[in-house]
A = this chain, B = another copy of it.
Amino acid sequence: MQIDVQLIPSTRLPEDLPSRTVVVFDILRATSVIVQALRQGALEIVPVSTVEEAFQAIKRFGPGTTLLGGERGSRKIEGFDLGNSPGEYNAGTVSGKRVILTTTNGTRAFHLVSTGAAVLAGSFLNAGAVVGECLNQKRDVFLFPSGDEGRFSLEDAVCAGRVIEGILREQRSSCLTDASRAVHALYQRFSKNLKEALTLSTHGRELLSKGLKNDLEFCAQTDMTDLVPVFKEGTLRA
Contacts and interface: CB of A to CB of B under 8 A. Distances in A.
A181 interface: yes
Interface string A177-218: 111011001101110000000001110000000000000000
Contact of A189 (B8, B188, B202): B188
User: Number of copies of this chain in the oligomer?
Assistant: 2
Contacts of A188: 189
Contacts of A179: 151-152
Nearest to A157: B182
Contacts of A200: 181
Contact of A8 (B8, B177, B186, B201): B8
Contacts of A189: 185, 188-189
A182 B154 CA distance: 7
B152 A7 contact: yes
Contacts of A8: 7-8, 10
Interface string A151-186: 111100100000000000000000001110110011
